[in-house]
């Protein structure tokens, strides 16, 4: 038995086997039963075969377009898929430790990468990048094989407690609280935003444990006491029995499935919830979660393994058409390619997957020739995509969205290329419907000139992740300053209000996309700020629907008005926490 003491931030007791989540690598680690080992090994082999086929296809496409010399770059990755250093080692970890395959791949990668770190030869040292690429592809294919995090939780034999290095509010919002009884994290404090969210959910939580994610084996019996801050690993039978008697049931633990369709606050204000997706295959999960449309389709994810000029018009058209048709008349917003030139200069790395799957040292920067800037710099590639989008719009309600806009001139130039793409289709005898064109507000220059941009666009989508990062000059991947990434910073909230007012004045729709929309506490505040459309990952939608139905827009307008007068994040968090708790007590009474 081992007892750790942290900061109890949400009262109550949770007991169960440990599910370990390492957020930095986006990997869940959990035990599997004897029967599950064969299933994980089969999934690993399917992922290896799928990865091999993908790399072979990429190699052929590169050879045809760029020549055999460049295509040979992928030979090393193909060899790594057959080398026991990665897949073989991962299989051994699954068999010996009885853990899920995705975690085993991460474990094998960490071990192999450490070997490359000790090699002085520059050429061999650079092969570490190949290793990360292959592991990222394996993890991607394992996830496609096993579904989302909520689906993977169904593999657990019983409800569990979550042990993590860190938890963002948006991740908390996606968790299935019928399967998770409470959580403990390495990071955090009493004013940690996730701690506030835990209290509003009624979920026992302990934070600030420093290394609990490394000290708790997957599947170990764990007791979490959110009152005392104690976390007990492998407790005695007597202590376990006593804790079970005190165990707390989350107020969200038992919920009826939410119906899709129109949604409104408790005082009758309509709210629209859309889904953010990467593939047309994600449509069933989005609709199943209650999404009323697709608010963001990340088109760059179709570029796996190659640069944009290899995505032909017909190929893109079929992807977009399939997406629109699967949504059966619901609106679909497709963002044009959001990649940057440094990603494209590295053919070994899947440009579109770089930021999602690969560790921080392998990531490209985000302030270069990216988004609409890249499209304007590469008009041939841009117009190919625009033609495909315009053709797909004939099959259902499709909207085109330009990312990373920073000026009115960029919007005008992009619209000029869109007009040229339309004329080219017309000259080919293809009829094109009118298509709404919007922009993402992601940088301060766009937010400050929102009143001007609103005259050039049919709709706004506020990309909160980048807007917060650029407004506060904070890189979320830099541990030295990541704690300064504050969605509740007064500057961020005032920019959101400014953008919403500009859109309202010009009569165009405005939606919020990003982690802010996925956070139940912030969702309430955003409703109070007058925002009515939100787009988020499908896993966050069911909880968001519940939050909306429990929210009084009138009360939150009063709260938001007060929040916008406060000067610090701490003051805002404290006030929000008090007001939400007060409203909940009032509604219970």
Question: 462: which strand partners?
Answer: 441, 512
Spatial distance between the Cα atoms of 218 and 32, rounded to a whole number of angstroms: 9
Spatial distance between the Cα atoms of 290 and 119, rounded to a whole number of angstroms: 51
106 CB-contact burial (10 Å; exposed 0-12 / middle 13-18 / buried 19+) = buried
Tokens representing 71 are: 């295509």
In 3-state terms, what secondary structure has residue 177? coil
> H or E element: which one contains 469?
helix 464-472
**Of 231, 258, 248, 304, which is closest to residue 1 (Cα–Cα)?**
231
Tokens representing 50 are: 């799928």
**Of 109, 84, 98, 88, which is closest to residue 27 (Cα–Cα)?**
109
3-state secondary structure string, 479-526?
A: CCCHHHCCCCCHHHHHHHHHHHHHHHHHCCCEEEECHHHHCHHHHHHH
- Cβ atoms of residues 91 and 44 within 8 Å: yes
**Active-site choice (160, 366, 513, 529):** 513
**Active-site choice (132, 193, 274, 489):** 193
**Of 141, 156, 117, which is closest to residue 32 (Cα–Cα)?**
156
Spatial distance between the Cα atoms of 226 and 243, rounded to a whole number of angstroms: 12
**Of 391, 394, 386, which is closest to residue 414 (Cα–Cα)?**
386
CA 83 vs CA 88, 90, 112, 132: distances in Å: 7, 11, 11, 14
- Cβ atoms of residues 187 and 205 within 8 Å: no
Tokens representing 407 are: 């000026």
- Chain centroid to CA 239: 38
428 CB-contact burial (10 Å; exposed 0-12 / middle 13-18 / buried 19+) = exposed
- Torsion angle of the four alpha carbons 158, 162, 168, 169, in this order, in degrees rounded to the nearest 10: 50
Strands 27-29 and 13-22: antiparallel
In this structure, which long-range contacts are made by residues 350-356, counting pairs with CB atoms below 8 Å and at least 24 apart in sequence? 350/133, 350/136, 350/137, 350/303, 350/304, 350/305, 351/300, 351/303, 351/307, 352/298, 352/300, 352/301, 352/302, 352/303, 352/304, 353/136, 353/137, 353/140, 353/301, 353/304, 356/26
Strands 205-207 and 7-10: antiparallel
- Cβ atoms of residues 190 and 9 within 8 Å: yes
Spatial distance between the Cα atoms of 303 and 75, rounded to a whole number of angstroms: 19
Spatial distance between the Cα atoms of 335 and 466, rounded to a whole number of angstroms: 15
529 noted as active-site residue: no
193 noted as active-site residue: yes
507 CB-contact burial (10 Å; exposed 0-12 / middle 13-18 / buried 19+) = exposed
Catalogue the active-site residues: 193, 513
């Amino acid at each position: 038995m081992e007892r750790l003491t942290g900061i109890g931030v949400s009262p109550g007791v949770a007991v169960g086997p440990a599910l370990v989540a390492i957020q930095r690598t986006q990997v869940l680690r959990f035990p599997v039963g004897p029967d599950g080992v064969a299933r994980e090994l089969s999934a690993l082999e399917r992922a290896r075969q799928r990865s091999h086929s993908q790399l072979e296809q990429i190699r052929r496409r590169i050879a045809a377009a760029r020549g055999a010399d460049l295509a040979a770059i992928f030979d090393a990755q193909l060899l790594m898929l057959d080398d026991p250093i990665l897949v073989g080692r991962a299989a051994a970890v699954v068999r010996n430790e009885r853990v899920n395959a995705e975690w085993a791949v991460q474990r094998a990668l960490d071990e192999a990468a450490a070997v490359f770190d000790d090699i002085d030869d520059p050429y061999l040292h650079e092969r570490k990048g190949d290793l990360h690429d292959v592991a990222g592809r394996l993890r991607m294919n394992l996830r496609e094989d096993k579904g989302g995090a909520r689906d993977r939780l169904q593999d657990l034999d019983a409800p569990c407690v979550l042990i993590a290095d860190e938890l963002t509010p948006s991740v908390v919002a996606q968790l299935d609280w019928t399967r998770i009884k409470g959580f403990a994290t390495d990071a955090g404090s009493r004013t940690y935003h996730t701690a506030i969210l835990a209290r509003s959910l009624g979920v026992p939580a302990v934070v600030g444990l420093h290394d609990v994610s490394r000290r708790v084996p997957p599947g170990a019996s764990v007791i979490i006491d959110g009152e005392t801050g104690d976390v007990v690993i492998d407790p005695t039978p007597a202590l376990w029995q006593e804790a079970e008697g005190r165990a707390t049931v989350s107020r969200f633990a038992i919920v009826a499935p939410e119906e899709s369709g129109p949604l409104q606050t408790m005082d009758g204000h309509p709210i629209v919830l859309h889904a953010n997706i990467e593939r047309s295959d994600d449509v069933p999960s989005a609709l199943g979660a209650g999404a009323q449309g697709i608010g963001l389709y990340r088109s760059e994810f179709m570029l796996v393994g190659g640069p944009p000029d290899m995505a032909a018009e017909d190929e893109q058209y079929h992807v977009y058409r399939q997406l629109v048709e699967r949504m059966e008349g619901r609106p679909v917003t497709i963002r044009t390619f959001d990649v940057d030139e440094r990603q494209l200069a590295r053919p070994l790395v899947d440009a579109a997957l770089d930021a999602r799957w690969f560790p921080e040292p392998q990531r490209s920067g985000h302030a270069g020739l990216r988004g609409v800037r890249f499209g304007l710099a590469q008009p041939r590639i841009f117009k190919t995509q625009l033609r495909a989008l315009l053709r797909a719009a004939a099959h259902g309600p499709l909207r085109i969205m330009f990312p990373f806009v920073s000026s009115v001139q960029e919007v005008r130039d992009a619209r000029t290329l869109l007009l040229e793409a339309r004329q080219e289709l017309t000259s080919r005898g293809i009829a094109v419907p009118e298509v709404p064109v919007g922009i993402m507000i992601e940088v301060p220059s766009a937010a400050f000139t929102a009143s001007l941009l609103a005259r050039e666009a049919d709709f706004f989508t506020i990309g909160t992740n980048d807007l917060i990062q650029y407004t506060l000059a904070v890189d979320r991947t830099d541990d030295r300053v990541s704690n300064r990434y504050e969605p509740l910073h007064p500057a961020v909230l005032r920019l959101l209000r400014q953008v919403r007012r500009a859109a309202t004045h010009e009569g165009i729709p405005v939606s919020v996309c990003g982690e802010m929309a996925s956070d139940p506490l912030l969702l309430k505040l955003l409703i109070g700020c007058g925002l009515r459309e939100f787009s988020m990952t499908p896993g966050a939608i069911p909880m968001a629907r519940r939050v909306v139905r429990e929210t009084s827009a009138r009360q939150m307008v009063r709260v938001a008005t007060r929040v916008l007068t406060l000067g610090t994040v701490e003051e805002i968090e404290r006030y929000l926490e008090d007001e939400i708790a007060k409203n909940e007590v009032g509604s219970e009474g």
